[in-house]
Chain A
Amino acid sequence: MTDWRPSASIETLRKRAAFFTSIRKFFADCGVLEVDTPCLSANTITDVHLEAMVIANGADIDDENVANACLSPLYLQTSPEYYMKRLLAAGSGDIYQLGKCFRHDELGRIHSPEFTMLEWYRVNFTMDDLINEVSALVQALIGLDTETATYQQLFEQQLGINPHEATTGSLLALSKTKGFGEYADRCLRDYGEHQGGIDALLQLLFSTCIEPDIGLEKPIIVSHFPASQAALAKLADDERSALRFELYFQGVELANGYEELINTEQLVQRFNEDNALRKRIGKVPKPIDNEFIAAMRSGLPACSGVALGVDRLFMLVERKHDIASVMPFQLG
């Protein structure tokens, strides 16, 4: 029989609506403006490990090779970041968006190709200011205090190594003792022995040996990721770590935030590095979003921003095992 029923109970959906109301109240109280930027864009991101879904716009939908035939594809947004930064550059001031994002080929217990993201930007906030605000939001939503630690502290505590000084050899040896030798070898073949490979092994060790053991009692914010994993964050003064942080609770990654990189030339350089790595591993390089770059050149105000997976946080509040059971319908 065809299973047409929702994947969450109606009771859970009532609580979900109340959860959204609490989020909107928090930002209304802080004087942050709600925006609803488009889900679709002519451009996408260069991230090596994120793929956008493509809409075959302008093509004959009866065409068998619709993806190849379409003249002007549109991408579903993996995050509202670029649109929101264009608003900030245009003088919007503090803004938040609570809406849908889309990521190709992500499906699992805590992954869905379509999910609800809360993303917000605060003008003149440092990373520490924003970490405090994330903690305040978490306190308002789930009534728990949040701990903090640095990426380096966690690696030293859990694995006894300094992630900023670890060599390829030492990370490979550690991966082997943890039972990931074969996959670690593969990472080094794919990403090279230098920074790309080191980051792949650090990410492997973090997500298998650190993430499951942190933030079990209360949420934890981990800051100062390696400079090579800065994404769109400013570098810290030591230049080997970035002003990037993530929120974890009960082994689930919930949010990713930055003190935003303002320097456009550095930003373009990072996009080009992304594309070089994409080519190395056989992925198609992505064109850089010119409207976003033009907005950056005209001047992004000093700000910090963060994106939080709302389905995941609500899943933990409801003590459910997977996000499908707190979303109206399961995909795939």
Chain B
Amino acid sequence: MANFSTNEFKGGLKIMLDGEPCSILENEYVKPGKGQAFNRVKIRKLISGKVLEKTFKSGDSVEGADVMDTDLAYLYNDGEFWHFMNNETFEQIAADEKAVGENVKWLVENDVCTITLWNGNPIAVTPPNFVEIEITETDPGLKGDTAGTGGKPATLATGAVVRVPLFVQTGEVIKVDTRSGEYASRAQK
């Protein structure tokens, strides 16, 4: 993999840091009037998800990371791996528990997810921004309350628990924003 000099740094560039692939979020070039220039860089570690700030001497180089995002449809879980398929080439990829992480609760069959590959191996799975899942359990709630004030917890078919308005009932399919984990609406029939 090629090396990148600090003057090639920009948001989205993937580099290796402490043996872990990282994505540059922000890069600021600082040049004291008569002093050594440096780059203050905000970085997200792609495996741990940690965000950190690091200062590089300007002109230094770091190794690039072979990281790419690919859109794949979720197929099934075999108990150990989550299987995804490229809808055009039908090529399949299996992601482990570490790569799927907490997003396991948003995986819906046939939904197209973004799989982040490092050296060809999945390291992260990002579900679509909105998913539609059936409610398997929620309190019947108060009849006639349609204002939705406060809401109530509802367990979804994938195991996720979200707060929903009181009028939404078990068996209904709802639309959830996976970035915030919040109820968006009832699903369109």
A187 touches B (CB below 8 Å): yes
A116 touches B (CB below 8 Å): no
Contacts of B38 in A (CB 8 A): 183, 204
In this complex, the interface size class of chain B, counting residues with CB under 8 Å from chain A, is 20 to 34
* Bound-state Cα–Cα, A105 to B39, Å: 13
B51 touches A (CB below 8 Å): no
Contacts of B37 in A (CB 8 A): 49, 106
Beta-carbon contact of B35 and A200 below 8 Å: yes
Contacts of A186 in B (CB 8 A): 57
Beta-carbon contact of B36 and A49 below 8 Å: yes
Q: Which of B25-33, B117-125, B132-140 contacts A (4 or more CB under 8 A)?
A: B25-33
Contacts of B54 in A (CB 8 A): 182
A residues 238-268 with Cβ under 8 Å of B? 246, 253, 256
A150 touches B (CB below 8 Å): no
Beta-carbon contact of A200 and B36 below 8 Å: yes
A residues 101-147 with Cβ under 8 Å of B? 105-109, 111
* Bound-state Cα–Cα, A114 to B25, Å: 27
Contacts of A47 in B (CB 8 A): 34
> In this complex, what residue of A is CB-closest to B52?
A179
Contacts of A206 in B (CB 8 A): 32
Beta-carbon contact of B36 and A187 below 8 Å: yes
* Bound-state Cα–Cα, A169 to B31, Å: 24
* Bound-state Cα–Cα, A256 to B59, Å: 24
Interface hub of B34, B38, B54 (most chain A Cβ within 10 A): B34
Q: Select A203's contact among B29, B32, B40, B58, beta carbons within 8 Å.
A: B32
Contacts of A180 in B (CB 8 A): 55
Using A108-B29, A109-B28, A111-B29 as known contacts, say yes or no to A203 and B55 having CB atoms under 8 A apart. no
Contacts of B32 in A (CB 8 A): 49, 203-204, 206-207, 253
B residues 3-55 with Cβ under 8 Å of A? 7, 28-38, 40, 53-55
* Bound-state Cα–Cα, A208 to B53, Å: 13
* Bound-state Cα–Cα, A205 to B43, Å: 21
* Interchain nearest-CB distance for A218 vs B (Å): 20
A231 touches B (CB below 8 Å): yes
* Interchain nearest-CB distance for B163 vs A (Å): 37
Using A182-B54, A183-B57 as known contacts, say yes or no to A111 and B36 having CB atoms under 8 A apart. no
Contacts of A106 in B (CB 8 A): 29, 31, 37
Contacts of B59 in A (CB 8 A): 105
Using A180-B55, A183-B55 as known contacts, say yes or no to A109 and B29 having CB atoms under 8 A apart. yes
> In this complex, what residue of B is CB-closest to A199?
B35
* Bound-state Cα–Cα, A47 to B33, Å: 11
> In this complex, what residue of A is CB-closest to B57?
A186
Listed A/B pairs (18) with beta-carbon separation below 8 Å: A49-B34, A49-B35, A105-B7, A105-B58, A105-B59, A106-B31, A107-B29, A186-B57, A187-B36, A200-B36, A203-B35, A203-B36, A204-B35, A204-B38, A207-B30, A207-B35, A229-B35, A246-B33
